[in-house]
Structures are given as C-alpha cells and as structure tokens.
Amino acid sequence: MAGGAGDTAATEPATGAELGRVGLADGGDVTAAALLAKEAQREWAATPGPERAAVLRRAAQVLEAGRAEVERWLVREGGAVPAKAAFEIDLVLGELWEAAALPTQPWGHLLPTSQPGRSSEARRVPLGVVGIISPWNFPQVLSMRAVAPALALGNAVILKPDLNTAVSGGVAIARVFEEAGLPAGLLHVLPGEVEPGAALVSNPDVAMISFTGSTPVGREIGATAGRLLKKVSLELGGNNALVVLDDADLDAASSAGAWGSFLHQGQVCMTAGRHIVVEKVAQEYLERLAARAAGLPVGDPAAEEVALGPLINEKQATNVERIVSETAAAGADVLAGGKRDGAFFTPTVLGGVTTTMPAFREEIFGPVAPVTVVADEDEAVAVANDSEYGLVAAIQTGSVTRGRRLAERLRTGMIHINDQTLNNDAFAPFGGVGASGNGATFGTQSSWEEFTAWQWVTSREQAQPFPF
C-alpha cells in the first residue's frame, strides 16, 4: 500500500527484477505515527514485564516458523548468499530471545537516604517513542537489535528501514510482531527517502534516535539531535584493521582475512578494510590471500551456489571500481580480482598499498582486501591507528599475550585476537569510537542504558514543614 509519498519498486540487485511495491513515507506519515506511538506507549509501559517478555518470545517463534520466507527476501532483495541469510536470521533470533529477558530483570535500586523517615529509590523508565533508522547490508539484525530491546523495555518504535531492503528490513519485522500479538500503535514501519528520516530526527514526540549508517549522515543526525537535546545512538562506518604479526599461523590468518574482507561482498561495517602485515611474512600472506580470493565464485545467489553475490546496486559497484582503479594507478598491485560486471565485483586483493592510497583511507564497502606491509609491531600499531575510524580490529599472532599487549595500544571499540573482524553477540557490547560512533550502544549489557532513563523517586509517610 502506498504511503504519503507514493510507492517504489523492491528490486533484485542480481537481475534488476521487480519483486514488489513498497509504500514511501513522508514527513506527514512520521508526524501521524509519532502521535499514535506516543499514545500507545503509555499503556505498553504500564504492562507487566512478563507480558511484554511473552510478546518478544512469540516474535522469535513466529520468525523461526517463517524464516525460510524471510531468508529468501534477504537473498533476492539484499543480494545475500543463502548461508549469510541463514546466519543473519540466527542473529535476529538471538536478539529477540535476549530482549525477552530484559522486562523481568531488576529495574531499579533502593538508595540510602540522607533524611530520616524518607525512602529513596532510583528506577529505569522507558524513554517513550524511539526512532530507528537502519541500513540495507544486514537489514534484519541491524533493525532488530534496536527494535527488540526498545519494545521490551516499554517504548514504542518508529522504524525507517533503508529503501534498498524495505521488505526484509522493515515489512517482515512488522509482520513478525503483528503475528506475535504486539498491541496496535507500538511499531510503525515507514520506508522512505531523506524526508521521513529528517522528520523522525526532528519530531518532538520522538525521544531518541538510533541510527546505523554512514559517518557523514551520522554527523548530521548527531548535530540535529544535539540542538534538540535529544538522545542519539550512532553506529557508523569503519575502516578496520586486521594485523598479522610475524609469528601468526598464515593459513589461519589468510582464511580470517578472506572471510573478514569478502563476507557479504565486503558490505559490512566490520569488514577487514586494511590488512596490516609484518614484512617478514607479507609475501607468503599475500600469496595465500590471493589464492583464496581467486577460488571464490561470484554470481546470482538465488540461482546458483556462489560465495559472493551482487553488491547492493551498480552505484556501489562503480564506487568500489573507482577506489580499486585509483589505488592501482597510485602504484598498488592487483593480485586477484579487480573486475566489475554490473553489480557484481570479483573478490580483490591489493598488494603494495600505502597509507596515502584511496583503498587505505576510504571505507570501501566492497570485496576488496588492501594489504599494507610494515616493518614491525610498533609500525603496525601506528598504521592501524592512522584512521579517523575506530570500530573494530583483529590481531593474528602465535602468542595471545603478545596479542593482548598490542590490543591495549589500538583505538577501537572492539578487538578480536586470533580471529577476524566480523563478530557479533547479542549479549556483548557493540560499538565504536571516533568516526565510527558514540560508543557501545548495542548488546543486552547496554540496552537498559540506551533505551531507558533514570528516575529518582523519594517518599515520606507524612508531609513535613520546611523553614520557609
């Protein structure tokens, strides 16, 4: 059904086929939804915790029963290979089950009091209406990791999914909660262009904005929210370092590097965007990584068994092609891949990348592994920290002690030793620093802090007089 701005096609990036029509919201739709959500939220906040928890558990059961359909949408609308789609649904189920545990946790403290006869307590209360703006690359989980805890803790939600994946990242979520019995008015899904997003950020009835997306847009949202004194959660871009030390297992390291750079065509904020390798093992690492890249088939994930599907659209593929071409022109070596066919891009390994080249400085968001060679561990740290981003890093080493020591010198929100950069647990704090965002804003350990506010309450059995 069309929204205030009409409708648009949901398309398949692999073929260009139209999969359906999606309504487009405008600013008026946001205003109307915010009023409805604000009204519905009052009763929802007063609903006993076990009842809210039950809705979240039923949502998980509904998604589990219908996961095959949602996975098909992730493949056809988002360009995911089937294994990525299944993995994403597993992550979403984890988010739902973790969120279902929130409403029955303790939600306050009994405080000491400075005055006889007065009780004092601090309690967490819902914020009200939470606006969520989510991206297209992992549309289910990057929506649900905010939608589920926000609802569980007594808020209403307005979700604006990216238009590239409005069905899998928006409509499917609305359908899950509708079938789970979420009361009317608490969840509004409003796909659209810039207008509804801007309206959501500026609406006075929306108490908080949770945004996952690019750093430039995040800066604009943060500036607007700051002027309005509105709470904002920003999970932004990344240009993440995979550091390979001279004592690393190179077979394992090159596998971690390939997975970190090529999963979902490199279209992940946690992608290994910079491989920083100590000179002693660099040549062997490059050879192993290039061989892995050359063996990964690319194609339509809905029609054939492939390791990589299409990028989300040709515009994104063209930008990846630009970065690779400019980096090669600046002196880097294309050791594997580097070819574009429409929205498809072959997994690419670049050797000889320096810190001034585009593939080092920019967030590529494509299947490209730029490799920068360093002399030693100290230079590896300096090069890894040579970025405005600070989302995640990974370290490959034969010594966990050495890895931990190096990790203490890296400026990132998350670090994984003898692993790759793409890690996510629903119960672990997730977020970055610098141009990657404003801290660990996701994960059940962070949910109470993000989606509720402290309220201090004191009481006396009887009122008493004061000096005035």
Q: Quick count: other Cβ atoms within 10 Å of Cβ 214?
A: 15
Distances, alpha carbon 377 to alpha carbons 225, 285, 371, 372, 383, in Å: 41, 16, 15, 13, 10
- Contact yes or no for 173/144 (Cβ under 8 A): yes
Backbone region of residue 342 per phi and psi (left: phi > 0; alpha: psi in -120 to 50; beta: other values):
left
CA distances from 146 to 279, 287, 351, 398 (A): 42, 41, 39, 37
Give catalytic status of residue 235 as yes or no.
yes
CA neighbor of 444 nearest in space, from 150, 225, 230: 150
> Choosing from 235, 321, 363, 450, which is the catalytic residue?
235
Sign of CA dihedral 138, 432, 434, 102: positive
Looking at the DSSP bridge assignments, the partners of residue 371 are 275
Q: Which residues of 166-194 are buried (b: 16+ CB within 10 A; e: fewer)?
A: bbbbbbbbbbbbeebebeebbbbbbbbee
Q: So which residues are the catalytic ones? A: 235
